[in-house]
Structures are given as C-alpha cells and as structure tokens.
Amino acid sequence: MKMFVTERRDKIMEFLIDQHRLTVKELSAKIGVSEATLRSDLNKMEAEGLLVRTHGGAVLNDTSEKTETSFSAREKQHKEEKMKMAVKALEFISEKQCILLDGSSTALEIARQLKKDPMRLTVVTSGLYTALELSDIPEITVIMIGGMVTNESKSIEGLMGLSILDNVHIDIMFTSANGFSAESGLTDFNLYEVQIKKGNGQQITQSRCVD
C-alpha cells in the first residue's frame, strides 16, 4: 500500500528514534520505497532540523529533538493562537464539571484562562505546570495523574496513573497531539501520552509526527 509523504517521514523518524543511525539502503528495505525517494525525504527533513545527513544515510538530530520537545520551547511557540484556542475552550466548560487537561502548553493556557474567571470544577491533569497554575484556586479541585516526572515536557509519564481515570467521570477532555491525518487520526510520539489519552477513550495512535 502506497504511503503518504507524512506517513513515510513519520516512519523514518520512528526508525531513527529507535536506532539513531540508518542507511538509505536499510530504510528502503524497511519502508519499501526507492532510495531516490528516501534521499529526497532525508534532505528535506535535514533542512527542517529533524536529522543530520551522513554519507549513505542519516542520524537522529538529538539536539534539535530535545529543543523541539522541551516544554519551555513549545510554550513560546504560537502563543497568540494558543490563547485564542483557550478562550474558545472555555465556552465548552460548565460549572461543576470534571475536565481533563493533558500536559501540553495549550492545556496550560486553558488553565491560565480558567484562573482569570474561576468556577467550581474538578481538573484532572498530567501537567505539572497546569496543576500548579490551578492549585491556589479555592473553587477548583486538582487531581494529578500519577507517574514519573519528565525532564523535557514537565508532565507525568507512566502507566501507574491510568487507574485514576477508572475512578473519575470526565465530562470533557482537552488534548493536543503531534500530528493528525485522515487515515490515522490523532498521533503522538510519546507512548505514555498515548496510553493516557486512550485511557480516556480517545482514538490516538503512536507515531512520530512533526507539527
């Protein structure tokens, strides 16, 4: 079955994240496309800062990978758009609801907007900054999803916290993803984030995507 360009590049990133270094010949065998097509993909992906081309292949650009996924870097990106989305999100939230906010920078902006005009809510979140933002609001009860604290995203990871979702009724969830396609729906590169979102009934699959 023919792959779309974004799907092919997602696969390339998955293999690089797993193995760190691959040749064009190896990628051609794994993905089933010509070496010429892959060279074109790799050149464009290098221009986007996702990898570094080597003689006959590519290696993962670890430095840019950390920069792209660090919370502080993501928080600074598209701030105006995130604020507009957060303001719009408030239209869907009602008094006494239980809402779930993921660990994204967009969810943090929703928390900041909630803080401006508090209402009685229960907020379940995997985001440390989101929890701290709302922790001093008397009207809001904050429940953290348990697990390990991540260095880059400052969110909670791991499967230990999934049991919490079995004991609360979530009225509405606000989540982000690293990519979207008509074929795969929402996709995310982080397995633990995928599991948490699936635990709340979201259709999301693991994939390395670039937004």
> Is the CB of residue 142 less than 8 Å from the CB of residue 123?
yes
Across all residues in the chain, what is the average pLDDT? 80
Paired with 203 in beta bridges are none
Report, as an integer, the average pLDDT of 150-174. Answer: 76
H runs (alpha helix) in 20-77 = 24-31, 35-47, 62-69, 71-76
Q: Residue 194 — pLDDT band, cuts 50, 70, 90?
A: low
Question: Does residue 172 share a domain with residue 149?
Answer: yes
Q: Which two tokens stand for residue 9?
A: 């590049």
* Within-domain flag for 170: yes
What's the rounded Cα separation, in Å, for the pair 67 and 13? 16
* Within-domain flag for 211: no
Q: Percent of the chain having pLDDT more than 70? A: 71
Residue 128: which CATH number?
3.40.50.1360
Report, as an integer, the average pLDDT of 186-197. Answer: 60
Report, as an integer, the average pLDDT of 89-118. Answer: 94
pTM for the model? 0.59
> Is the CB of residue 125 less than 8 Å from the CB of residue 146?
no
Paired with 53 in beta bridges are 58
Residue 21: which CATH number?
1.10.10.10
More confident residue, 117 or 155: 117
Question: Does residue 143 share a domain with residue 109?
Answer: yes
Domain that holds residue 27: 5-68
206 has pLDDT over 50: no
Q: Percent of the chain having pLDDT more than 90? A: 40
Give the pLDDT confidence of 19-56 residue by residue, as tens digits: 888 999 999 999 999 999 999 999 988 887 778 899 99
User: Domain boundary residue among 16, 46, 68?
Assistant: 68
Cα angle for residues 180, 182, 186 (degrees, 5° grid):
30
Residue 161 to residues 90, 107, 153, 182, Cα–Cα distance (Å): 26, 18, 17, 30
Q: What domain count does the chain have? A: 2
